Amino acid sequence: MCMRPPRRTEGSADMAVITYRDALGQALREEMQRDPDVYLMGEEVAEYNGAYKVSRGLLDEFGPMRVVDTPIAELGFAGIGVGSAMVGLRPVVEMMTWNFALLAIDQIVNAAAKVRYMSGGQVGCPIVFRGPGGAALQLAAQHSQAFESWYAHVPGLKVVMPATPADAKGLLKSAIRDDSPVVFIEGEMLYNMKGEVPDGEYTTPLGVADVKRPGRDVTIICHSKTVAVALKAAEQLAGEGVEAEVIDLRTIRPLDTEAILSSVARTHRCVVAEEGWPFAGIGAQVVDLVQREIFDELDAPVLRVTGADVPMPYNKGLEKAAKADPAKTIAAVKRVLYAEAS
């Protein structure tokens, strides 16, 4: 079998059960303590302790030079972040949500992602853009969007999407230390999730997926909020005798191709779940990889579970129907298993 870097975490000690929100806060605090070049900037991050309270207490500890409230001007403060990264700081730029980061996408795509390349390697841009992405509950079409495939499309960016508190902390620390610009997409519905998080120093490597549940019959590839969806589906499937392996990508780009391929080569069946729209989504990329590299291992076409191909409805029932959920995932799994007449 092949050698792989440790899947979960490096370093660690005892475990505490904390929220995803506090795990991110710990990561910020520890990295700001560790490296004076790290600073946090964004709307409401300082005096208000963060729109989602991720940065609670940081202003008191580090002061207004390192925890900076900005005007409601995403393009402007994203640009300030990129500029400061180019001259040696390691900014963490909080976007209140990734929907608002659309205003700043020129700085992310045309500045941050291009600086190292267009300066011939002379100028780096070690910056993290972070904030919640995807839908919450009834925030309607403009505030319920999953943009990971947009950023993952761009060479020069890394895209990281933790699904658990432990990964949130370990991955954010790795993202801050990474010398590339990192798009770090959290989830509003994940902030209250509780889980075991190792106390103190540890990091989770970027580009390494994680088997969240082992299984032999089918592989479910997922990330961020769909990890919980897939785990729930897997639990229900187990009751029907189907052992699904759940692989959390954790990092969308660079993609852990080996984790995907080795699992699917073993299970011969694959379903990819994601929150976003189907067209040109992350799942499409995974399907391309799987059919290209291990065609002969497939016993069925790879199927995708995605959000509906519509602007997110405000209506509660319609919103529910538009989201990827365990029932849709189970249906897809049964199709690749030929378990139901199709």
Q: How far is the CB of 296 from other proteins (least distance, A)?
A: 4
Of 45 and 303, CB closest to other proteins: 303
Say if residue 254 is preceded by a cis peptide, omega within 30 of 0.
Answer: yes
Q: How far is the CB of 285 from other proteins (least distance, A)?
A: 20
User: Among candidates 134, 202, 219, 144, which has minimal Cα distance to 168?
Assistant: 202
Q: CA distances (Å), 192 to each of 17, 23, 111, 162, 317, in order?
A: 12, 10, 33, 14, 23
Catalytic residue (choose from 30, 31, 43, 74)? 74
Q: How far is the CB of 274 from other proteins (least distance, A)?
A: 24
H or E, element range at 118? helix 115-118
Catalytic residue (choose from 30, 143, 245, 274)? 143
Beta carbons of 233 and 244 less than 8 angstroms apart: yes
Of 48 and 338, CB closest to other proteins: 338
Candidate ranges 132-140, 189-197, 201-209, 298-306; the one touching other proteins (CB under 8 A)? 298-306
**C-alpha span between 252 and 260 (Å, rounded):** 12
Is 74 annotated in the active site?
Answer: yes
Q: How far is the CB of 168 from other proteins (least distance, A)?
A: 31
Which of 4, 266, 316, 320 lies at the binding interface for other proteins (CB under 8 A)? Answer: 266
* Range 204-223, binding other proteins (CB under 8 A): 216
* Range 92-121, binding other proteins (CB under 8 A): none
**C-alpha span between 271 and 335 (Å, rounded):** 10
- The angle at the Cα of 278, spanning 276 to 279, to the nearest 5 degrees, equals 115
Q: How far is the CB of 333 from other proteins (least distance, A)?
A: 15
Beta carbons of 117 and 156 less than 8 angstroms apart: yes
**C-alpha span between 63 and 66 (Å, rounded):** 6
Of 117 and 338, CB closest to other proteins: 338
* Range 300-319, binding other proteins (CB under 8 A): 300
Is 143 annotated in the active site?
Answer: yes
Residue 298 as a binder of other proteins (CB under 8 A): the answer is: yes
What does the H/E/C string look like for 204-228?
CCCCCCEEEECCCCEEEEECCHHHH
Query: Per-residue contact track with other proteins, 267 to 296, x per CB under 8 A?
Result: -x--------------------------xx
Q: Which residues bind other proteins (CB under 8 A)?
A: 1, 216, 266, 268, 295-300, 338, 342
For the annotated catalytic residues, the residue numbers are: 74, 143
